[in-house]
Chains A and B, each alone.
Chain A
Amino acid sequence: MLLSFENVSLTYPPKHNILDDITFSLDEGGFYFLTGTSGAGKSSLLRLIYQAERPTKGRVALFGEPLTNNGHEKQAELRRKIGIVFQDFRLIPHLTAWENAALPLRLTDAGDDYIERHTKELLEWVGIGDRMDAKPEELSGGEQQRVAIARAVVTRPRLILADEPTGNVDEHTALKLFHLFVELNKLGTAVILATHQRHVVDKFHKPALRLAKGKLQKVES
């Protein structure tokens, strides 16, 4: 089991329900869309998975391990098995594309040669092999998102969480990026991709979790 939510609710004081009694489970290695309009609770659901939030009620388990009350070390260990892609890319501005993409690998025991070679190959694979020394401000939105994707997958995580990864790029680039996620999934990495672009989701015929006003409306397959 990749992920399971059991009666999960997330409430901000005083009584603002962000997620309301969500229950679902996802299998290892799958590709899942998380859809819903803006404010439906997609980002909050992802935040619960990468433990930036804790549920007010219910139980979340990732890779078969419950996420509640994890200490910092356990939390860090689980996060190393996840790659996260954000809508605003979150690249470190003073590092080059290569340095940004290599950052998670530097947190592992990987040797310098492996980091150098693997990151280079990955950046070539996402299509910015010729811009590796550029700083984020010198890259377009699409290029920045490709670096962010490379960074998310550089350690070969078991799961990629993508929160509106195409929100800041044009439709043509968005489609290319979606294809990139599908390719990654084919290599064995599970993907949960949150997006409000329903028309793009329809083109891919992948299972989708649909959220509306904090409630899980439907699990489409």
Chain B
Amino acid sequence: MSLPRHLFTPAFRHQHLGGSFAAIVGIMVFIATFATAAEAILLTASYLWGQTAEDRLTIEIPAVGDEATMSQAERVKQVTSLLRAMPGIENVEALSNKDVERLLSPWFSKPELLRALPLPTLIDVERSSDPNLTAEKIQAALRNVVSDARVNDHGTWVQDAWRLVQGLTVLGGLTIFLTALTLIISVSLICRAVIAAERETISLLHLMGTENIDIANHFQTQATRIASRASIIGFLVALVITSVLFLSTRQLSDLSALGWGHWLGVGIVSLLVPFGATVLAMVTAKISVMRLIRTFP
């Protein structure tokens, strides 16, 4: 059975219903793709950051003046020696002044300002996953050699950040769910309007002995054609905007931890959105039409 391809075309053109249908699908795909891509990037990046940062500590040794009894270099040497001797410490690396300046430079407009400040020395410490080797224990051990050394446990902020990411993930999921719901409601309403505009044609098809499932299938094919095109456009626009946004904010959000494989994964997950939206629009169109034309003579 093959009804004419353009049987419902005038109805889709009626009061720009086809255009509205395409616009809604396109916009919803744009929002959902954006949310999905952002969520996938956030989850992957935070997982990778968490993996690298959770077992790390930063020891901060405040700068001292010339009048101090022990030079800053000596203080650093004593601390690193102590740390290297501690069981469970896997790597100790003191950051050079240049590294510290690089880390602080985004917050200073003039480099000379930064050079004028007494910068602390930072020591990056990698520990094993031994739960007994806490930041407090290391802090207590350091107090005996350099009393003002401070230990910053990355595990603490990683856990806070992870909780924040989980909250954002739920929010992203909710956005995608609400977008899908809006898509279903909008597509359903537009399909009802299209079918109402073609009431006479459908009644005529009924009188010829056409079954509702055949009319719904034909309508679905036409709706799918529009939805798939709109989905692709919405997806591509979202892809371009997401890329531009991440590229323009790459100074603030370090995504260097993400390799090609991760980006490919993000791309594949995002690709599910236009497919999902098209399928959703297809199914919604068919169900809406079936429910409505059942009432036609």
A residues adjacent to B (C-beta < 8 A): 50, 52, 72-73, 76-82, 84, 90, 92-95, 99, 103-104, 106-109
Contacts and interface: CB of A to CB of B under 8 A. Distances in A.
B218 to A, nearest CB: 10
Contact of A103 (B4, B206, B294): B4
26 contacts: A52-B207, A52-B297, A72-B212, A72-B294, A76-B209, A76-B210, A76-B211, A78-B209, A79-B208, A79-B209, A80-B208, A82-B209, A84-B207, A92-B204, A94-B6, A99-B4, A103-B3, A103-B4, A103-B208, A104-B208, A106-B1, A106-B4, A107-B3, A107-B208, A107-B209, A107-B214
Nearest to B200: A90
A107 B200 contact: no
A106 B207 contact: no
A20 to B, nearest CB: 23
A98 to B, nearest CB: 10
A109 B1 contact: yes
A106 B9 CA distance: 18
B211 A90 contact: no
Nearest first, the 3 closest Cβ-Cβ pairs linking A and B are: A80-B209, A79-B209, A76-B209
Nearest to B11: A94
B4 A107 contact: no
Nearest to A80: B209
Given A77-B209, A95-B4, A107-B214, 12 more contacts: A52-B207, A72-B294, A76-B209, A79-B207, A79-B208, A81-B209, A103-B3, A103-B205, A103-B208, A107-B1, A107-B208, A108-B1
Contacts of A94: 6, 9-10
A77 B9 CA distance: 27
Nearest to A104: B208
B297 to A, nearest CB: 5
A90 B204 contact: yes
Contacts of A52: 207, 297
B69 interface: no
Interface of B is mostly: loop
B1 A79 contact: no
B209 A92 contact: no
B253 interface: no
B206 A79 contact: yes
Nearest to A108: B1
Interface in B76-93: none
A90 B206 CA distance: 13
B93 to A, nearest CB: 76
Nearest to B2: A106
Contact of B211 (A50, A72, A103): A72
Contacts of A95: 4, 7
A78 B294 CA distance: 17
A77 B10 CA distance: 28
B201 interface: yes
A94 to B, nearest CB: 5
Instruction: Name the residue in B7, B9, B207 with the highest tally of chain A Cβ atoms < 10 Å from its Cβ.
Output: B207
A79 B205 CA distance: 10
Instruction: Name the residue in B2, B3, B4, B9 with the highest tally of chain A Cβ atoms < 10 Å from its Cβ.
Output: B4
A189 to B, nearest CB: 16
Nearest to B208: A104
Contacts of B210: 76, 107
Contacts of B7: 92, 95
Contacts of B211: 72-73, 76
